[in-house]
Amino acid sequence: MPEQDNKEIVNVETHHETSDVNVRALLWTVVIIVVFAAVAHVLVWLMYRYLRQHERAQTPPAVTAVTLPSGAETPSEPRLQPFPSRGPNGKVEPPYTTTPVMDLKQMRAAEDEALKTSAWIDQQKGIVRIPIDIAKKLVIQEGLPVTGTSGTEGTTTATGTTGTNP
């Protein structure tokens, strides 16, 4: 009796599936997509080459009625290298002697020289540039100048004198 009960429950139309995915159809889909992508890339590349050649053939050179002023081939100062420039002797130096590295060396040398020598900044106002070593010694001896804007009373300088702000 148990065998007859099982036959009544079983559906004869159902059966076991042999595969979940049709592999052949999947592979054909991938091949078709790859071929389509390759053909599209080739067509776009050919179209680009055609349009580039067409545009270059159709574009005339620029026409302008503006004449360049004399000396316009070299931009005005300050300018980027390499342009010829006049040296200290007044002669035009070739561009390879005025490189950014050489300019930096010259700038540092000029700054070092300015730190070590005295010179007038504005002689009418009495403003002078002094070497930095002397300036440091003067600040230590005399102290920083008092401007009167701090509002403190009885400031002491490096020499030990006491002053009052007005």
Residue carrying structure tokens 């302008």: 64
Q: Which residue has the higher pLDDT, 100 or 135?
A: 135
Distance between CA atoms of 146 and 153, rounded to whole angstroms? 11
Question: What pLDDT sits at residue 159?
Answer: 46
User: pLDDT at position 80, please?
Assistant: 65
- For the segment 76-92, the average pLDDT, to the nearest whole number, is 67
Confidence of residue 104 (pLDDT cuts 50, 70, 90): confident
Structure tokens at 26: 């999947």
Taking the complete model, does pTM exceed 0.85, yes or no?
A: no
Confidence check: pLDDT of 133 > 60: yes
CA distance 55 to 47: 12
Residue 158 clears pLDDT 50, i.e. is over it = no
Amino acid identity, position 154? G
Cα separation, 16 vs 6, whole angstroms: 18
| Beta carbons within 8 Å of 131's beta carbon, 6+ residues apart | 115, 116, 117, 118
